[in-house]
Structures are given as structure tokens and as C-alpha cells.
């Protein structure tokens, strides 16, 4: 998601799936992302809907923010071949990125990204941690050209009412 991360997909299934593609531990981590979300403090303008895609193979998220008109889609999943979680995001401004993820704590995920931009070489680490009250804590840090890490995002996804 982030917006939790957000990618284009050919079709979404509105029905609950009864079979699973991944081992239980993988599905458990991804299941925390499924839901109708907003960001605390941005309830009036931000919405992100995350649903299981075919046989619980991926979580597909669509987001929109009426404050700036932006939209994005993300696909979060797991590659058994590479033994890591995956994240792909496509934004309405023509942006895209791909990140690799790993387990974080009991149920969380941490994603990493390295890329070159006008500032130089950028490394980004994104932490998504489910909270006991149902929220998702989203925190992101970045380092440019090996500089000290700085926090670039820190907020909570909350379920829409």
C-alpha cells in the first residue's frame, strides 16, 4: 500500500476465495493487508481498497486521494522461486516501482528498494506492521548516496467505517 503501495491488474475477484496458493505463514502476513483502508487524519480524502486476487495468490490494492486527484494500484505477493515477498506499484502520474520484501516480526513485512534518481543513489526501506487494534503502521526511511537514514513517512492505515 502507498498509497500501502498501489499496481494495475487485469481483474479483481469480489468473492471470497476458498483455496490458497501459498503456505499458511505467507498467506497470514499478506492477509493483514486485505481491507477497506484510509489514513488516520486523511479519512475525508484518502481511500485504499485491498482484495485477494485469484486463489489468494496476490493482494491487489487500489487507492485514490481526492485532495490531489492521484490514483494508484499495487500488487503484493510472494515469490516461492526467489523466497521473498514482492511489491509492484503503478501511479496515475506515470510512476512505478518494484520492491522486494521479507518477514518482519510476528506478522509484519519490510520492503526494500534501490534506485537512481536526480539526487543520486537512493535506498528506501518500508516497514508495514499490523497492530493489535487492527491498524497497520506504515513507516518509511531513505538514504541518498549512503547518507544517514531519514524517516520519510510514518502513519497508520485505519479501516474505513
Q: What is the pTM of this model?
A: 0.84
pLDDT tens, position by position, 38-87: 999 999 999 999 999 999 999 999 999 999 999 999 999 999 999 999 99
Residues 138, 4 contacting (CB under 8 angstroms): yes
User: What's the distance, Cα to Cα, between the start and end of the chain in Å?
Assistant: 19
> Which domains are seen in the chain, by residue range?
24-159 (2.40.128.20)
Q: Give dist(CA 95, CA 112) in Å, integer.
A: 17
pLDDT of residue 18: 53
Residue 82 gets which letter from DSSP? T
Q: Give dist(CA 5, CA 145) in Å, integer.
A: 24
Q: Give dist(CA 10, CA 23) in Å, integer.
A: 24
**pLDDT(6) > 50:** no
pLDDT tens, position by position, 112-154: 999 999 999 999 999 999 999 999 999 999 999 999 999 999 9
Amino acid at each position: 500500500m502507498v498509497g500501502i503501495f498501489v499496481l494495475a491488474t487485469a481483474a479483481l475477484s469480489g468473492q471470497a476465495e476458498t483455496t490458497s496458493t501459498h503456505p499458511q505463514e505467507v498467506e497470514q502476513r499478506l492477509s493483514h493487508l486485505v481491507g477497506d483502508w484510509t489514513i488516520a487524519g486523511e479519512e475525508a480524502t484518502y481511500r485504499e481498497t485491498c482484495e485477494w486476487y485469484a486463489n489468494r495468490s496476490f493482494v491487489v490494492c487500489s487507492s485514490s486521494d481526492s485532495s490531489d486527484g492521484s490514483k494508484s494500484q499495487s500488487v503484493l505477493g510472494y515469490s516461492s522461486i526467489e523466497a521473498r515477498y514482492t511489491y509492484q506499484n503503478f501511479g496515475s502520474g506515470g510512476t512505478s516501482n518494484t520492491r522486494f520484501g521479507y518477514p518482519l516480526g510476528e506478522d509484519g513485512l519490510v520492503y526494500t528498494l534501490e534506485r537512481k534518481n536526480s539526487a543520486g543513489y537512493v535506498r528506501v526501506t518500508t516497514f508495514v506492521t499490523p497492530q493489535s487494534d487492527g491498524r497497520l503502521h506504515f513507516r518509511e526511511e531513505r538514504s541518498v548516496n549512503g547518507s544517514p537514514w531519514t524517516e520519510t513517512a510514518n502513519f497508520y492505515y485505519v479501516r474505513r467505517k
